[in-house]
Amino acid sequence: MAALSVDPPDIENLLKLNPKPPNGIAKLVPTRHTKTEKKHWKRNIGCEGSSCLKNDFDDIKHTTLSERGALREAARCLKCADAPCQKSCPTQLDIKQFISMIATKNYYGAAKAIFSDNPLGLTCGMVCPTSDLCVGGCNLYGSEEGPINIGGLQQFATEIFKLMNIPQVVDPSVVVDPADPSYRSSVALIGCGPASITCATFLARLGYTDLTIFEKEDYIGGLSSSEIPQYRLPYDVVSFEVNLMKQLGVKVQLGKPLSAKNGMTISSLKKDGNVVVFLGLGMPQPKSIPIFKDLSSTNGFYTSKDFLPVVAKASKPGMCACGGGSLPQLHGNVVVLGAGDTAFDCATSALRCGARRVFVAFRKGFTNVRAVPEEMDLAKEEQCEFLPFHSPAKVNLVGNSIKGMEFYRTYQNDNDEWVEDSEQTVKIKCNFIISAFGSGLTDSDITDALAPMKLNAWGLPKVDPVTMVTDVEGVYCGGDLAGVANTTVESVNDGKQAAWHIHQYIQSLGGVQVNPTPQLPGFYTPVDEVDVSINVCGLKFENPFGLASATPTTSSAMIRRAFKVGWAFALTKTYSLDKDVITNVSPRIVRGTTSGHVFGPGQGAFLNIELISEKTAAYWCRSVTELKRDFPNKIVIASIMCGFNKEDWTELSKMSESAGADALELNLSCPHGMGEKGMGLACGQNPDLVRNICRWVREAVKIPFFAKLTPNVTEIVDIAAAAQEGGADGCTATNTVSGLMGLRTNGSAWPSVGDARRTTYGGVSGNAIRPIALRAVTSIARAVPGFPILATGGIDSAEAGLQYLNGGASLLQVCSAIHNQDYTVIHDYVTGLKALLYMEAMGLPNWDGQSPPTAAHQRGKPTPSGLPAVKGLPHFGDYLTQRRNLLAQHKGVTPVHQPPSPAQQPQTPAHQPPNRVPKISDTIGRALPMIGTYGDLSNKQQVVAVINDDMCINCGKCFMTCNDSGYQAISFDEDTHIPHVTDDCTGCTLCLSVCPIIDCITMVPRPTPYYPLRGVPLTTPNEGLPLACQ
């Protein structure tokens, strides 16, 4: 008979790769063997030339993030005070706020914060030179893990919003008098690029209704469309942002160039009734040098202005109604001249057009390269060669075709001037030359159309860098043409600046004085109109979020600040009669250990041994009166505590009611210190004491009151029922959980007080206690229906708050989340809750709150679908090379310009919710019917795990946990490291729980009946099971 405690042979074979303990013996492997072995597992394999890049315009940005990556990166952010990153952003994005919102899965709120300051927030998330801007100021540069990937987070949040497809509308608080003609003033904007789109968006948000953009091309977006490659900025992104602008009523006319010959000039636009003209047409002509005179693409010569638009039209789905045409057909060696971002875009595009090798030549050294490191690094990874200190001297032709180029070496003389050394020449064989020396305004047709505007020494309009006005009244300018902006985000800010000053100008024409402090309206959508107010016990709360009676309400001045930023209610710090006044010890509030070694914000728990308020009842009663006087629409709840004494409770509750408190909270639950005085926990653990205290207070006051319950009891429902029987209007569930956070290796505790270094059991708070508090809330809601519950315990996001509402709570108290951040988290919670309710009404398939369905991806980028040949190939070593070759073959025979995918389709019309948006009252307790006893659960409807090979990163975590904690139902291939779920899977879901990739493992209905493996057959036949399974 086989031993039961020994794994059978098939399981032993499956366990072959399971981790083994160290045996104390050093390993001996020849270096030659390791050099061969490491190639098999290598993931950071570079691309070799154009062989795997031809026709490949898929995303190559290092910054792109999946939801998992975004959540981890956002959690890493310190959310600094007076954040330097924000000061380095030309558009002054509230970077700290939007990253905080991503960390709580409030992607709508993050996008709202971004688009409020930057209408091209998605474009800039993709192409901003963040290393030179926001990231350059990140305080985490002072740590070894390095700065936050701000651009990737910005891209992630705005891409999620793009998938939501929610329209932009004018903020209803922007009230425009219909009789005021100034807001119907015609404004013409020239060029549909970043500056004009931004200027038009902000003017529309201000209430202007006659805004028209005139674009010379037959596509929108300006240089964002024509000169930034698809693999850095897809056309559907530009289209999405232009559609957001159009939703505000802005019109766009294509094929309308500024041209003296065609009759569209500044003067003609003004004569046609346009009160303002904004110039955002960029710098349309390329700079060149004499050696390229008479050369064209037929010879193999392109300027960046010739090359990139052709590449864009051929590779950007949806950009061109003509079908896009074909890519430039390059071969052999290509030389790109220049050291800016455009030059490197030309270089990497050339590889995708068939170039075998690409050389980037520039006059100065690496320390003088104008391109941002991100661009240069991409070119380096794709094996472009760099030629510094090279100045073009001559083009060599054979017949009419370019065959080479000669350069002079350059150097910097003692006066720091760059000079050419004609005695040092370098010859490069090449087949094509792409000049990317920059651009200017040299077309006389356009300069004539600018008359009577004066141009400066560089041939550009004279522009005030603050107001963006030119020397012609009513004519403004932004972007490249204004001479300051060098990047997309700087062009955006030019448009933003111009919008405000255009508003001031137009209003001044009617004699209206505009507030000198800029007040540009932010991004607004129907989500912001969702009503999250709720009535509880006859009190109206503007939203369900309030401050718990804890350190965030240490003083009434702090409550005042909290009300100003949007909190709907606050509980005072618990106070007592003077005879029970306390003095705290220190240290007394420490970070938790429940989430491992986490330092900084994002603590999963705190422990405190702080007692109630050190301030007097008189202080708090006067404070309540002041707060209610100044904030009549906010709810102030006085938190009070006494011993088991009727006179004390009567006196304190009447004092608080007389002061003007809207309600009372009876603190019957403080888990440390106060219980030793016969207060707090000492009263709250006994139903009879709770019942009597509530009766005393009910007799004393007419205002509502809530009993604050302790989780440190056998059954909290009994305490809640006693509070209701005593006349309480509701309860708070729960106070902190009594605990000891940890002991140091030398046996001392933290916090330790005084020379004796003593400690005591304190109150654990934060999301570590959320499961306990959720159980308390749902248990009370099921047992005492209709009894309002103020939930508290780990409410650190709108999503967490909605869990409590679904579980039966009516209001939500917050404390630990403010420890981790500050009062401004209320904006996150309110916008997040509105978005969750709105998304529910939208009913988008397979969305989970604000999280869309997870597409198969690696490193945040989608993995190809519809190509069976790559199915099951891992993303490392020779398998990765094989994948790339197969994909390159596929792209080589597939037209580059394909119809837009569903995700790239035009985003109009925007989604309209097919269902009514739920109110807060609709959500309260709706999860309760699904919560019951174990006996209510079905053991007939089973699930099994399914692993998505395309998303698997081959870590084997599922394999290990199944082996040592589960059912040995996952095999692990020793060559491919691809796990496979066997028929032994029991659906326990451990593998999904430890998998590091969201939705890589899913649980699906079991296709066959589940028969447990009993080990030894049952002695009593089990009806319904085959004998073999008993």
Taking only the tens place, the pLDDT of each residue in 922-945 is 999 999 999 999 999 999 999 999
Mean pLDDT in residue range 873-890 = 89
Cα–Cα distance, 813 to 586 (Å, whole number): 25
Mean pLDDT in residue range 511-538 = 96
Q: Is the pLDDT of residue 910 over 80?
A: no
Q: Is the pLDDT of residue 1022 over 70?
A: no
Taking only the tens place, the pLDDT of each residue in 7-19 is 888 888 888 888 8
Residues whose CB falls within 8 Å of the CB of residue 421, separated by 6 or more in sequence, listed in order? 408, 409, 410, 411
C-alpha 880, offset from chain centre: 30
Q: What is the DSSP string of 732-761?
A: EE--PEEE---B-TTS-BSS-BTTTTB---
Higher pLDDT, 340 or 178: 340
Q: Is the pLDDT of residue 1025 over 60?
A: no
Is residue 831 reached through a cis peptide bond, with omega within 30 degrees of 0 on the bond before it? Answer: no
Taking only the tens place, the pLDDT of each residue in 59-71 is 989 899 999 999 9
Residues whose CB falls within 8 Å of the CB of residue 215, separated by 6 or more in sequence, listed in order? 191, 192, 222, 252, 253, 254, 255, 256
| Look-up of token digits 């430890």 | 994
| pLDDT attached to residue 868 | 81
Question: What value does the CA radius of gyration of the chain take, rounded to a whole number of Å?
Answer: 34
264: β partners: 259
Cα–Cα distance, 51 to 68 (Å, whole number): 32
| pLDDT attached to residue 595 | 82
Mean pLDDT in residue range 554-573 = 98
3-state secondary structure of 471: coil
811: β partners: 790
| pLDDT attached to residue 10 | 86
Is residue 452 reached through a cis peptide bond, with omega within 30 degrees of 0 on the bond before it? Answer: yes
Is-contact 102 157, C-beta < 8 A? Answer: yes
pTM for the complete prediction? 0.95
Strands 385-387 and 390-398: unpaired
Is-contact 287 337, C-beta < 8 A? Answer: no
Q: Is the pLDDT of residue 185 over 70?
A: yes
Of 182-186, 515-519, 698-702, 828-832, the one with minimum mean pLDDT is: 515-519
| pLDDT attached to residue 905 | 47
Mean pLDDT in residue range 349-362 = 95
Taking only the tens place, the pLDDT of each residue in 368-394 is 998 988 889 999 999 999 999 999 999
Q: Is the pLDDT of residue 1028 over 70?
A: no
Encoded tokens for 320: 């061109």
Strands 401-412 and 285-286: unpaired
Taking only the tens place, the pLDDT of each residue in 971-1015 is 999 999 999 999 999 999 999 999 999 999 999 999 999 999 998
- Greatest Cα pair distance, the chain, in angstroms, is 109
Catalytic-residue membership of 991: no
Closest by CA to 684, choosing from 657, 700, 650, 707, is 707
At residue 175 the predicted structure's pLDDT band, cuts being 50, 70 and 90, is: confident
Taking only the tens place, the pLDDT of each residue in 952-975 is 999 999 999 999 999 999 999 999
Percent of the chain with pLDDT over 70: 96
| pLDDT attached to residue 1024 | 52
Residues whose CB falls within 8 Å of the CB of residue 223, separated by 6 or more in sequence, listed in order? 193, 282, 480
Is residue 518 reached through a cis peptide bond, with omega within 30 degrees of 0 on the bond before it? Answer: no
Q: How many CB atoms lie within 10 A of CB 581?
A: 15
Indicate the Cα dihedral angle 143, 149, 154, 159, nearest 10°: -140
Q: Is the pLDDT of residue 1027 over 50?
A: no
Strands 589-591 and 606-608: antiparallel
Cα–Cα distance, 786 to 513 (Å, whole number): 54
| pLDDT attached to residue 596 | 87
C-alpha 387, offset from chain centre: 39
Taking only the tens place, the pLDDT of each residue in 18-56 is 888 888 899 999 999 999 999 999 998 877 656 678 889
Cα–Cα distance, 897 to 326 (Å, whole number): 8
Given the residues 621, 670, 731, 952, select the one marked as catalytic: 670
Strands 251-253 and 210-214: parallel
Indicate the residue type of 422. S
Q: Is the pLDDT of residue 328 over 60?
A: yes
Give the C-alpha distances (Å, rounded to integers) separating 937 from 504, 581, 940: 66, 51, 9
Average pLDDT of the residues of the chain: 94
3-state secondary structure of 619: helix
Mean pLDDT in residue range 281-302 = 94
Is-contact 128 374, C-beta < 8 A? Answer: no
At residue 177 the predicted structure's pLDDT band, cuts being 50, 70 and 90, is: confident
Cα–Cα distance, 624 to 658 (Å, whole number): 10
Encoded tokens for 954: 């081959």
Encoded tokens for 722: 């006693």
Cα–Cα distance, 49 to 905 (Å, whole number): 32
